[in-house]
Amino acid sequence: DQQVKQNSPSLSVQEGRISILNCDYTNSMFDYFLWYKKYPAEGPTFLISISSIKDKNEDGRFTVFLNKSAKHLSLHIVPSQPGDSAVYFCAGITGTASKLTFGTGTRLQVTL
């Protein structure tokens, strides 16, 4: 049972344009959703999160949108930069400190 799904394994975007990464979930008990970014041979690093009671959270070039009725969230990166090229994982968490349930990731490539 895959509770968090990222249906697009890869995405290519031109530098300066918007990148939109999507994530769907089935577990209504998630309290927070987090996006992690992973470069090759490194561990994932935290990017941005959103509470399940919010519908938007913005941090610089990164904005996460949550649509609870559709059980869908998205990460927007504007403008995209070559350094954003990485694998992005969506994750849900229940409770104050618990396991993260990850999606399978989307590989973003930002081209010049």
Partner 1 sequence: GAGVSQSPSNKVTEKGKDVELRCDPISGHTALYWYRQSLGQGLEFLIYFQGNSAPDKSGLPSDRFSAERTGGSVSTLTIQRTQQEDSAVYLCASSSPRDFPYEQYFGPGTRLTVT
Residue 104 sits in the site that holds partner 1 (CB under 8 A): yes
Q: Which is nearer to partner 1, 31 or 67 (CB)?
A: 31
| DSSP letters for 14-76 | ETTS-EEEEEEE--TT--EEEEEEE-TTS--EEEEEEETT-SEEEETTEEEEEETTTTEEEEE
Q: What span, in angstroms and rounded, lies between the C-alpha atoms of 91 and 103?
A: 6
Interaction residues for partner 1, span 25-44 (CB under 8 A): 32, 34, 36, 41-44
Residue 102 sits in the site that holds partner 1 (CB under 8 A): yes
Minimum Å distance from CB 14 to partner 1? 27
Which of the stretches 17-25, 59-67, 69-77, 91-99 binds partner 1 when contact is defined by CB under 8 A?
91-99
Minimum Å distance from CB 16 to partner 1? 29
CA diameter of the chain: 41
Q: What span, in angstroms and rounded, lies between the C-alpha atoms of 92 and 108?
A: 20
Minimum Å distance from CB 109 to partner 1? 17
The count of other CB atoms within 10 Å of the CB of residue 56 is: 10
* Residue ranges in contact with partner 1 by CB under 8 A: 4, 6, 32, 34, 36, 41-46, 49, 51, 89, 91, 93, 96-105
